[in-house]
Structure 1
Amino acid sequence: MKNLTVTFLLACLILGCKTETEKKSEEVGKDVIEILFQVDVTEKDDLEYFENGIIPWVSIENPDLELNNLIGKDDIVVNSNKATLIIDYPLNNPVEFTITSDKSIGFTRKELAQNISIVYHKIYEVEERTSSVKTIPIEEREGLINRNETNGKYGIWGHDIGDLDLSAAVVRKMDSGEIKIELFIES
């Protein structure tokens, strides 16, 4: 019994000790919300791939084709009319972009998907203008047809914008009150 008590106390002591990073992660983790971007299947052919009738992402290149069937498209998912997107995929040089909602109460799921698409289009446009290494057209690529790495402002590698889909986002309210949004991008 004494060994069990000592073991229990040691476990509590170890679990109670946190590194500075863990403490900061907890502080940053306040008011964390996960947003899913799922689309109801409308095409019979899509049911072969998505048996449950739900596509677990929305296109970044052209979300407008899917937004009418976006599940919860009109739900307010970010309760602030200003937020910062953290864009790190597929970039060698991650970047933060501030977005603003048309609504004072915050972003709907649909509006957030549209804003993310707009930001990605800007990133790809700036990359093309600032890179001395130009993107090899898909019809000229050999072997694996991934996008070549370019050396522009963001250093895009591996994927054209048409390869990217948005599956989820994590919204965090920082201690400063700023809203930061991390994206889960599929390719």
Structure 2
Amino acid sequence: MLIWTLDLGGRTGWAMGPAGKRPTSGSWVLKGDDDTREEAWARLGRRLRDHLSVERPDLIVIEAALEPGGQKSGHAAANTFGYLGAVYAVAGCYRVRVAAAHAQSISKHFIGRGRVGDRKLKKQLFIDRCHLLGLLDRDCRDDNRADAVALHDYASARWGRAAPKELVLFGGSP
């Protein structure tokens, strides 16, 4: 099963690969300082369209949105739902299924704790775990990319029903 995961935001992390294998990953800057959120949503839509016209995953997985009341502000909720709308709309045009995973489930699976009080600490734990498992190169410090890779690992286990193909111990090479 080919899985594409997206950590949506102004800087969107992505990871794509077969379930249970090290995915190809990266991040896109969707919203610059002078861009409107509508421009960022359109930029995401074009990226998705361009990619899906060449390669179609079996599944796209995104992090589930918090309820609007759980968002920091109405502006944050609008941003979140705009990105989600772009994903569902473009994926639907290509008949690619989209699934959503809850942030706490991803964290529990990947770092053993569902809740981590400090956002910066959680990001660092994800980066460290990616390095330990050989899912990101040691010089990569991109937390958006690490979030997408962690989501890919979770999606591989949950929807791909795949265990990692290579065992990496103590931060060694796969």
TM-score (norm 1): 0.25
Which has the larger strand fraction?
Answer: 1
TM-score (norm 2): 0.27
In terms of Rg, which structure is larger? 1
Q: Which has the higher contact order (CA 8 A, sep 6+)?
A: 2
